[in-house]
Amino acid sequence: MARILAVINRKGGVGKTTCAVNMAVCLAAAGKKVLLMDMDPQGNATTTLGVRKDRGLGTVYHLLLGSKNFAAVVMEIYPPLFHFIMADADLVGAEIELVGYENRERHLQKAIDPHRSHYDFIILDCPPSLGLLTVNALVACDGVVVPLQCEFFSIEGFVQTRDTILRINRNFAKAITVDGIIFNMFDGSEAKQNFIQEFKDRLDQPASTWIVHYDSQVNIAPSHLKPGVCFNPWGEAAKQFQEIALDLIRANRGIQ
C-alpha cells in the first residue's frame, strides 16, 4: 500500500518541485513503484520531465473533476521507470469548478485510493497557495515533506504549513505527519548552519531533517528537461536526494 506524501510549503521559491521530482526519481531508481502527480497549475514538474502537454493524455484537472479515469491520465516516465500525471493551465480552473461539487475536498482522495495498492509511494507536488488543490492533496496524503530555504521567511512558511496540517487533521479526521524537512540549496555557510540548528531546536514534533546542498547543475537541469539527479548524477545534491529516498523507504517499512 502506497504512502502518499505531499511536498508542500505555503512559501513559494523554496524548491518544492525540485524536491518532489528528484525524490520520485531516486525512489524509482531504488526499485520502488512510484507515482508522481503535478498538482501545481504552473506545471513545473511536467516541464522538468520533458512532458509535452499536447500529447493527448488527460491531466490532474481531468482526474479531479472526474471527466477522465485514472488509466486515461497516467503515463510512464523513464529511466528510471515511474508513473506520472501531468498538469497544465486548465488546473487553475479546477479551483473554481470544484467549489460547486459535493465533498470537493476529497476528490483527489477518491480518485487515487483505488490505485494505492499498485504503488509504494505517491508523491504530490503541491502549489504554494492554500486553495482546493492543496487541500485535496492534504486530505489525500498520509504525510508531508516540507522543503525550506535557510532564511527567516521559510520559518513563517513552515509555521503556516504546520497550522494548515493541524486544521486538516482536525476537520477531516486525519493523522497527517511531517515525514521530513529538507533544508534546500544549502551553501555551507556558518550562518546557514546556525539557522538549521536553531530551527531543529525549535521543532515541537519529531521529524526527519535533511540537507541538500546548492548545485548550479540541479538549478539549470529543468531547462534541459531533466531532473537534477539525472543531469548531474555524481553531484552532492544527487547523493543527498538518494539518501532522502533511502530514509523514506526505511521509514515506510516501519509503517507498513
pLDDT digits (tens, 9 = 90+) for 60-92: 999 999 999 999 999 999 888 999 999 998 999
CATH no. for residue 37?
3.40.50.300
| Mean pLDDT, range 33-48, rounded to an integer | 96
H or E segment to which residue 146 belongs: strand 143-148
Query: What percentage of the chain exceeds 70 in pLDDT?
Result: 98
Please state the domain count of the chain.
1
Secondary structure, 3-state, 64-129: HHCCCCHHHCCEEECCCCEEEECCCCCHHHHHHHHHHCCCHHHHHHHHHHHHHHHCCEEEEECCCC
Which of residues 204 and 220 earns the better pLDDT score? 220
Query: What percentage of the chain exceeds 90 in pLDDT?
Result: 63
Tens digit of each residue's pLDDT (9 = 90 or more) over 172-218: 999 999 999 999 999 889 988 998 988 888 887 778 999 999 888 88
What is the spatial distance between Cα 99 and Cα 107, in angstroms, rounded to a whole number? 11
Cell numbers found for residue 246: 533511502
Give the per-residue pLDDT at 15. Answer: 86
- Give the Cβ contact number of residue 209 at 10 Å: 16
CB 57 within 8 A of CB 87: no
Give the per-residue pLDDT at 225. Answer: 86
The reported pTM is 0.94
Strand ranges across the sheet with 82-85: 75-77, 82-85, 34-38, 121-125, 3-7, 143-148, 177-186, 208-213
Look up cell 543531469; give the residue: 231
Q: Is 158 left (phi over 0), alpha (psi -120 to 50) or beta?
A: alpha
| Mean pLDDT, range 15-32, rounded to an integer | 95
182, amino acid identity? I
First-to-final CA distance of the chain: 8
| Mean pLDDT, range 114-131, rounded to an integer | 95
| Mean pLDDT, range 121-125, rounded to an integer | 99
CB 32 within 8 A of CB 63: no
CB 88 within 8 A of CB 94: no
| 12-16, 68-72, 246-250, range with the lowest pLDDT | 12-16
CB 183 within 8 A of CB 9: no
Asked if pLDDT for residue 256 goes beyond 70, the answer is: no
Cell numbers found for residue 206: 519529531
Cell numbers found for residue 170: 482536525
What is the spatial distance between Cα 47 and Cα 223, in angstroms, rounded to a whole number? 8
Max distance between CA atoms of the chain, in angstroms, equals 52
- According to DSSP, the residues that pair with 104 across neighbouring strands are none
Give the per-residue pLDDT at 82. Answer: 97
| Mean pLDDT, range 152-174, rounded to an integer | 89
Domain that holds residue 63: 3-255
| Mean pLDDT, range 1-10, rounded to an integer | 94
Provide the pLDDT confidence category of residue 254 given band limits of 50, 70 and 90.
low
